[in-house]
């Protein structure tokens, strides 16, 4: 092998590594015109990616509708605080569906002590009550985003106790003690905590900060970076960091929905609303909705979640676009499960009360006493220390 062949091989190998490490879609890909001809608003779709995503968006069969007449759940059962306005058959139908949507196959006992379902002693039941409030709030207050399509528990949970796409505060996004200032894991391949154990798609091998979430999807920093004038006018424009964080957020939004930037923007001017498509306005409401869900609902369940559900910084799990969207432009491709579950739409007035959460009741004293007695008995049955061997 001569030197020339060797250097050719090296070039080929280099190219191979480059291609393998880039997020390139193998042809053929489809393009769809989304704006006026010639304005460049084209979506690039990869049919293989869509086929895989489609397989993940199948919805389970709904239980047949329940009779809305008959006694109210709150008059029959002991401890029904949210679903009390439903008939008992409607309430039990919601229970059966929740067992299929969020327990990973465990069923009623994931939330209930079967002997007495009125007890609030298992934390998933307490969280589920808060989730019922959240879902009713989304479906009646945020129709500017979710329209009449709405959401159910299945939209985020897909059968699992913990939704697949969540985010946590990132240990890297703190001002570093060194001279390099903020360290945002840029250009790094370290795992991000957005999806525990997985690389964050946008930040993996990219040069964007890994955590735009805290600022924009929990905090309400302005998402405005483009200057409206050719030359600097009064004072400074947006900083480079703000711009990077904005682009990081936008990349994550695009990935969450499986779309390009021009699904919402005309890239001639990313700022101009006049030239943007109506989906951008839907996304604008989406950003506000996510902030509200994280601050009013997710933050409150923190009180009852066990430590193993927290992130590396000890914070509670939080929602972003992919929590519902799971990689497609409308969750479940826009098929509405809510139309089969009118029980999950709240009265718009009543849901305002859900924004604050009363501290959950501690488990009843007689239950705690019985638990302590059972534990004491178990301790007596098995001696803690092995008896000394006979001399």
Q: How far is the CB of 319 from ligand HEC (least distance, A)?
A: 5
Is omega for the bond preceding 28 within 30 degrees of 0, making it cis?
yes
Any residues with CB less than 8 A from the CB of 252 and at least 6 apart, and which?
200, 201, 202, 212, 213, 320, 321, 322
> Closest by alpha carbon to 260, among 59, 65, 30?
30
- The least distance separating ligand HEC from the CB of residue 380, rounded to whole angstroms, comes to 32
Q: Is 82 in the site for ligand HEC (CB under 6 A)?
A: yes
Shortest Å distance, C-beta 210 to ligand HEC = 15
Least Å distance between CB 247 and ligand HEC? 6
What is the SS3 assignment for 32?
A: strand
Say how far apart CA 123 and CA 121 lie, in whole Å. Answer: 6
Rule CB under 6 A: say whether 138 interacts with ligand HEC.
Answer: yes
CB of 368 to ligand HEC, least distance (A): 18
> Considering the rule CB under 6 A, would residue 164 count as an interface residue with ligand HEC?
no
Give the closest residue to 173 by CA, choosing from 72, 241, 236, 238: 241
Residue 135 engages ligand HEC in binding (rule: CB under 6 A): yes
Pairwise CA distance, residues 242 & 222, whole Å: 9
Stated length of the chain? 391
Site for ligand HEC in 210-269 (CB under 6 A): 223-226, 246-247, 250-251, 253-254, 257, 259, 261, 263-265
Give yes or no for residue 45 binding ligand HEC (CB under 6 A). Answer: no
Please list, residue by residue across 219-257, b when 16 or more beta carbons sit within 10 angstroms of its beta carbon and e when fewer do. eeeebebeeeeeeeeeeeeeeeebebbbbbbbbbbbbbb
Site membership for ligand HEC, residue 156 (CB under 6 A): yes
Q: Which CB sits closer to ligand HEC, 183 or 284?
A: 284
Residue 85 to residues 75, 133, 148, 225, Cα–Cα distance (Å): 9, 13, 21, 47
Pick between residue 183 and residue 330 the one whose CB is nearest to ligand HEC.
Answer: 330
**Site for ligand HEC contains 143 (CB under 6 A):** no
Stretch that binds ligand HEC, among 99-107, 182-190, 229-237, 379-387 (CB under 6 A): 99-107
Of these, 53, 63, 99, 113, which contacts ligand HEC (CB under 6 A)? 99
| Contact string 283-302 vs ligand HEC (x = CB under 6 A) | xx-xx--x-------x----
Tokens of 308: 């193993």
**Is residue 203 a contact residue for ligand HEC (CB under 6 A)?**
no
CA dihedral 18, 23, 25, 31 (to 10 degrees): -130
Q: Which is nearer to ligand HEC, 33 or 176 (CB)?
A: 33
Nearer to ligand HEC, 101 or 184 (CB): 101
Q: Can you read off the two tokens belonging to residue 161? A: 């106790």
* C-alpha to C-alpha distance for 243 and 248, rounded to whole angstroms: 9
Cβ-based nearer residue to ligand HEC, 210 or 319: 319
Question: By C-beta, is 191 or 206 nearer to ligand HEC?
Answer: 206
């Amino acid at each position: 092998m001569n030197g020339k062949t060797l250097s050719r091989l090296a070039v080929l190998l280099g190219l191979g590594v480059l291609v393998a490490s880039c997020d390139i879609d193998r042809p053929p890909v489809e393009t769809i015109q989304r704006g006026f001809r010639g304005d460049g608003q084209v979506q690039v779709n990869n049919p293989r990616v869509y086929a895989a995503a489609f397989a993940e968006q199948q919805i389970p069969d709904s239980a047949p509708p329940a009779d809305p007449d008959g006694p109210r759940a709150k008059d029959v059962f002991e401890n029904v605080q949210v679903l009390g306005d439903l008939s008992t058959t409607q309430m039990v139908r919601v229970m059966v569906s929740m067992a299929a949507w969020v327990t990973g196959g465990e069923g009623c006992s994931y939330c209930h002590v079967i002997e007495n379902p009125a007890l609030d002693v298992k934390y998933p039941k307490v969280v589920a009550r808060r989730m019922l409030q959240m879902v009713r709030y989304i479906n009646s207050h945020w129709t500017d985003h979710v329209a009449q399509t709405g959401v159910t528990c299945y939209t985020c949970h897909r059968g699992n106790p913990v939704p697949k796409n969540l985010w946590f505060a990132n240990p890297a996004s703190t001002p570093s003690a060194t001279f390099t200032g903020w360290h945002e894991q840029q250009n790094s391949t370290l795992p991000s905590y957005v999806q525990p154990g997985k690389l964050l798609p946008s930040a993996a091998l990219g040069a964007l900060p890994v955590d735009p979430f805290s600022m924009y999807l929990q905090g309400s920093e302005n998402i405005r970076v483009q200057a409206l004038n050719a030359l600097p006018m009064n004072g400074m424009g947006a900083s480079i960091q703000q711009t990077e964080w904005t682009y990081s957020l936008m990349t994550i939004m695009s990935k969450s929905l499986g779309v390009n930037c021009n699904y919402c923007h005309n890239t001639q001017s990313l700022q101009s609303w006049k030239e943007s498509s109506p989906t951008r306005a839907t996304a604008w409401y989406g950003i506000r909705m996510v902030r509200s869900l994280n601050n009013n609902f997710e933050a409150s369940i923190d009180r009852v979640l066990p430590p193993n559900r927290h992130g590396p910084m000890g914070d509670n799990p939080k929602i972003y676009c992919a929590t519902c969207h799971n990689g497609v432009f409308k969750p479940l491709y826009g098929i509405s499960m809510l139309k089969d579950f009118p029980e999950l739409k709240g009265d718009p007035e009543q849901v305002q009360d859900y924004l604050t959460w009363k501290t959950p009741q501690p488990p009843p004293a007689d239950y705690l006493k019985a638990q302590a007695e059972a534990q004491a008995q178990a301790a007596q049955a098995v001696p803690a220390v092995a008896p000394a061997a006979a001399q």
